[in-house]
A and B are shown apart, each in its own frame.
Chain A
Amino acid sequence: MSGSSTRPVRRRFPEGTTAEDLKEYMAPFVATLGYKFNTESEFVDEVLTSELEILEKTGDVFCPCRIRTGDPKEDAKIVCPCIPFYLEQFAAMRKCWCGLFIRTDVDDGAELLGVIEEPEPGSAVDVPVCRVEDLPDGQVRHVKIGKQDIALARVGDEYFALSNLCRHAFGPLSDGILDGYYVMCPWHGWRYDLRDGTTDHPDADVRTYEVTVSDGFVLVRAGL
């Protein structure tokens, strides 16, 4: 459908929404991503006050530190909390762009205020992708980091991450069945070794990612 930008944003929050309402709405959501509100409460209130002004003008809580371009696809990526769209960058910065949210293991958010240097392109970063309790033993789930679709699997207390696309017919390995250290593609049963991404057919291996666990979160190493 073309010309969709002519339709205004449909307002998501009712009249009279307060900063407290936004906190209540956002906190549980960002917690699943490994973030919390900045410990500097005055700064948080300043940002949320700006977001409420923007909500009045535009119909949604766009980031106060980025500009809406008028392209709905681009603008959707700066609706607060925008963390899912900038996982690697924010993981490296240990906060979101404006600093409203900081990583859960940062004790003093004041230290991150004003330090807004972006990480070097090409450097590796461990990106929190889910809480340990969100991935039970023997299960596999889909996570997305930037443009990369990843199947994240748990075997006991070991975690594995590999490219989500089966090389046979591009079935989603994250919907597959785990059998020990192997995941079977749900479409035609191709089998991949979680530990190194190898499959039974030569030259059809998938990429693997380094996985670590820290502070109750599963982190996948990605490049910036």
Chain B
Amino acid sequence: MAVKLFALSTCPYCRMTRKYLEDNDVEFDLLEVDLLEGQERTDAIAEVKELSGGTSFPVAVIDDEVIVGFNKKKIREMLSL
């Protein structure tokens, strides 16, 4: 299962989500959007808006499912943890 996490380096819920995935040995791609610059940043923001309809973090993408915020229950369901 492909897991991608859009996060901010400053955001406590992003840290919680990241830790939860790591603690459960889930492999995931991490993109810390606030640390990007220039076009990369613009593109990442556009992608987050497209996926989630907003600019709030974290945004986890598990296959085609988009989870906004640290939603342990949904993540657990999606990954059968």
The segment from A12-20, A63-71, A157-165, A169-177 that touches chain B is A63-71
- Across-interface contacts of B33 in A (CB, < 8 A): 67
Contact of A66 among B12, B16, B42, B57 (CB under 8 A): B57
Docked Cα-Cα span, A115 to B42, in Å, equals 29
- Across-interface contacts of A117 in B (CB, < 8 A): 69, 71
Known contacts: A69-B45, A114-B16. The answer to whether A64 contacts B10 by CB under 8 A is yes
Docked Cα-Cα span, A98 to B8, in Å, equals 12
Number of interface residues of B (CB under 8 A): 20
- Across-interface contacts of B56 in A (CB, < 8 A): 65-66, 97
**How many Å from the CB of B73 to the closest CB on chain A?**
9
A43 within 8 A of B: yes
B55 within 8 A of A: yes
User: How many inter-chain residue pairs (CB < 8 Å) link A and B?
Assistant: 56
- Across-interface contacts of A70 in B (CB, < 8 A): 42
- Across-interface contacts of B12 in A (CB, < 8 A): 43, 46-47, 50, 64-65, 98-99
**How many Å from the CB of A46 to the closest CB on chain B?**
5
What residue in chain B is nearest A100 (Cβ atoms)? B12
Q: Mark A112-147, 1 if CB is under 8 A from B, else 0.
A: 001111100000000000000000000000000000
Docked Cα-Cα span, A78 to B13, in Å, equals 16
- Across-interface contacts of B10 in A (CB, < 8 A): 50, 53-54, 64-65
Interface residues on A, range: 20 to 34
- Asked if A67 and B71 make an inter-chain contact with CB atoms under 8 angstroms apart, the answer reads no
- Asked if A64 and B69 make an inter-chain contact with CB atoms under 8 angstroms apart, the answer reads no
- Across-interface contacts of A66 in B (CB, < 8 A): 8, 55-57
- Asked if A50 and B16 make an inter-chain contact with CB atoms under 8 angstroms apart, the answer reads no
Known contacts: A66-B55, A66-B57, A97-B56. The answer to whether A114 contacts B72 by CB under 8 A is yes
- Asked if A114 and B68 make an inter-chain contact with CB atoms under 8 angstroms apart, the answer reads no
Interface set, chain A 44-61, CB cutoff 8 A to B: 46-47, 50, 53-54
- A-side residues, CB < 8 A to B, are 43, 46-47, 50, 53-54, 64-67, 69-70, 74, 78, 97-99, 114-118
5 other A-B residue contacts (CB within 8 Å) besides A50-B11, A74-B55, A98-B11:
A43-B12, A65-B57, A66-B8, A66-B55, A114-B16
- B-side residues, CB < 8 A to A, are 8, 10-14, 16, 33-34, 42, 45, 48, 55-57, 68-72
Instruction: Report the 4 A-B pairs with minimum CB-CB distance, sorted nearest first.
Output: A116-B69, A64-B10, A50-B10, A65-B11
